[in-house]
Structure 1
Amino acid sequence: MIRYYQVGVEGGEAFLTNEQGVIPITQWLEFGVFSGVVVGIVYAIVEFLFDKLQLNKLATGVVVLQKSIIYLIMLILSANFIVSIIEEQIDRNLPNDSGWWIQNKVFWLVVGYFIVCSLVFSFLKIAKDNFGKGVLFNQLIGKYKKPREERRIFMFLDLQASTTIAEQLGHFKYSELIQKCFYDLNRVLTNYDAEIYQYVGDEAVVSWPFDKGLKANNCVELFFKFQDKLLKNEKLYLKKFGLTPKFKAGLHGGKLIVTEVGTIKKEIAYHGDVINTSARIQGECNKYDETLLISEKLLQKLKLHKYKLTSIGNIALKGKEEKLNLFSINRINQ
């Protein structure tokens, strides 16, 4: 569209024509779509490499600066490639000499456009990383301004023997361990439609909309995938911390209230018995020497054919009058 409206182009309407006549706007739009796809692929590759090489663990400002430099270099290379194709297609001489982009107004206008777009998308990505998936959008539309009832599944995930480990490592090294563990947890979350509700010390609270948590047994599969991730990185943990971290978890689901709370710092909060019960179930893991416990109510809605299920019995959970039937979940070959 910049080319079509002759921004920064000398020669007036002559630019819109070639030897065959007027160049149709549909052809300009085709070039625009093609250019967008090329640059979009470049952006996707950069994002993928930063994620794959774990470069996003650097300071946010450093990451944004590095990406901006890479984007500028790739934009220059992409522009040279795109201009050469457009020149051939419309049979006109376009600026494509070495260093043509330095003095070209159109190029820098395009760069300005991509800088604005990059800042917008970077902001959205940072917001997603900090607030969680879908939280910013829900706040923008005011979905939870008034309390709403929803059905959700919660998993309380806690580091085993955390007190002993903290004493052995010291508070700085222990903090690094928790940071690394939760980084590994985040690497597997998206594959199971899971969301992080909160991090509380050495505990992570994971949540699913009810249907997504049940689908393909996501709420159970995530726990064992996280275990596998920790074992895969066992050598790294042993070298840096002298141990392999193990986690225990409690699973429960049902109806609860979701609402937006706070003014200075806003967040989406969950209120209801489901939260408390999930935490209490996780608290029973040490007592029965199990890594994953689930309520019978939630278990009945899952299809866990490849797991070994063992009834723990009707347990009186702390702070609850009514007993709850709990089951342990283990892999069959364990």
Structure 2
Amino acid sequence: MNSNLGQYFQLLWQSVVFWSFALICYSIFRFLGLSEEQGIIITDEYKELISFSNLLTTSLAVGLAIGILYASIEFFFEKIVSKKLSLGLSLLLKNSIELVVTIIVFTITLTVVSSIYGIDIKTHRGWWLQDKTIWGILFFILLSSFVFSFIKIAIERFGSGVFFKMLIGAYKTPKEEERIFMFLDLKDSTSIAEELQHLKYSQFIQDCFFDLNAIVQKYDAEIYQYVGDEAVISWPFKKGIKDNNCIRIFFGFQEQLESRKSYYIQKYGIFPVFKAGVHGGTLIAAEVGTVKKELAYHGDVINTSARIQKECNQHKVPFLISGSLLDKLTVHKNFSTSFLGKVLLKGKQKEINIHSISNA
């Protein structure tokens, strides 16, 4: 519940800021200096109405209203509708609902303005069908809504920090970064795939990763990539060690799955159990590709994280962490750690310390 509330408020402030800014820009570009345009006469009763301060106030009020309503619609679609519909159909349906909401907001706004300034503005049923100005505004809002949706998709794909860095070309040349990586893998995936068969198994993995996505923002995490039944999660180093995010996310994911245990048992007859390995350090980040551009990380940190995760089966534990990363964390009393010794990971020449972590 707290996670959903946090996600909603994050979406809410982004939506309010975006729509307030968008409508202020439209007001400036469309109406500022309107009285000076050739062939346009502004009567005295409208001069006060289109003053810059009034336009700014009205734009902020409408932006606030649309931002709140659109954020609520977006959140509803994220949590309920998007899983059931294709991206294109979801966007089409969402924008159609937003169009209706926008007309209602403008009708209420013009009614209030008409009452305050004593101006006869027609807001009867269907008024917007004959008003060319409102169609221009609606078209602008529709385009802006698509822009907002695609920016949001890009941020979800790369993470907010990474997206804006890519936007300014920060990764055009390889860049050294400190990051933490977690390799999260489904336990007994081969036998589960054989039992469920490929179609139902794919749905099973979809549901698991849907639950993972429900909690990643709570722990400041980014999904780097999905590889079959494995998810690779990443953090900038400071965000990963803050509040033990790189540990807490694993147990948060377990709790999320546990909350939907009856769903998994009823639909699949199987409850998913995951194992994870986590490690951090310095590696190289670079923008790669032209046809399918993406951010790639290169370095020993990724290989070590993946191989630590493979050791889970060997030691019969669900969660392993490197000693070097554990030393950077302050593990609170809710977790207990156990030193499992030094291991020589495949492909490595130097042994590393590994520890298991469990709920205390």
Aligned pair count reads 328
Q: Secondary structure at the match of 2:106?
A: helix
Deviation at 1:6, TM superposition (A): 7.0
Partner of 1:223: 250
- Asked if 2 retains the 8 angstrom alpha-carbon contact of 1:23 and 1:90, the reply is no
Partner of 2:42: 13
2:151 is equivalent to residue 124 of structure 1: yes
2:324 is equivalent to residue 263 of structure 1: no
Query: Which deviations, in whole Å up to 9, do the C-alpha atoms of 1:22-54 show, x marking residues without a partner?
Result: 864312321121112112222111112112324
Within 5 Å, which residues of 2 pair with 1:23-42? 24-42=51-69
Deviation at 1:62, TM superposition (A): 0.7
Partner of 1:308: 336
- Asked if 2 retains the 8 angstrom alpha-carbon contact of 1:6 and 1:15, the reply is no
Structure-2 separation of matches of 1:295 and 1:22: 65
Query: Which deviations, in whole Å up to 9, do the C-alpha atoms of 1:124-144 show, x marking residues without a partner?
Result: 123334445444433321111
Q: Which has the higher helix share?
A: 2
Structure-2 separation of matches of 1:11 and 1:146: 53
The residue identity in structure 1 corresponding to 2:216 is L
Q: Secondary structure at the match of 1:304?
A: coil
Q: Secondary structure at the match of 1:284?
A: helix
- Asked if 2 retains the 8 angstrom alpha-carbon contact of 1:156 and 1:251, the reply is yes
2:348 to 315, 320, 328: 320
- Asked if 1 retains the 8 angstrom alpha-carbon contact of 2:283 and 2:299, the reply is yes
Within 5 Å, which residues of 2 pair with 1:223-262? 223-262=250-289
Query: Which deviations, in whole Å up to 9, do the C-alpha atoms of 1:124-179 show, x marking residues without a partner?
Result: 12333444544443332111111111100010100001111111111111111111
Within 5 Å, which residues of 2 pair with 1:185-224? 185-224=212-251
Deviation at 1:57, TM superposition (A): 4.3
Partner of 2:21: none
Within 5 Å, which residues of 2 pair with 1:84-233? 84-233=111-260
Q: Secondary structure at the match of 2:331?
A: coil
- Asked if 1 retains the 8 angstrom alpha-carbon contact of 2:49 and 2:55, the reply is no
Structure-2 separation of matches of 1:99 and 1:229: 47
- 1:282–1:239 distance in 2 versus 1, CA, 3 Å: same
* Greater displacement, 180-189 / 22-31: 22-31
- 1:37–1:6 distance in 2 versus 1, CA, 3 Å: farther
- Asked if 1 retains the 8 angstrom alpha-carbon contact of 2:81 and 2:90, the reply is no
Structure-2 separation of matches of 1:174 and 1:54: 22
Structure-1 separation of matches of 2:172 and 2:194: 43
TM-score under structure 1 length normalisation: 0.93
5+ residue gaps, structure 1, are none
Aligned residues with identical type, % of pairs: 47
- 1:179–1:6 distance in 2 versus 1, CA, 3 Å: farther
Deviation at 1:267, TM superposition (A): 1.4
- 1:242–1:15 distance in 2 versus 1, CA, 3 Å: farther
Query: Which deviations, in whole Å up to 9, do the C-alpha atoms of 1:233-269 show, x marking residues without a partner?
Result: 1111111111100000001101111111222222111
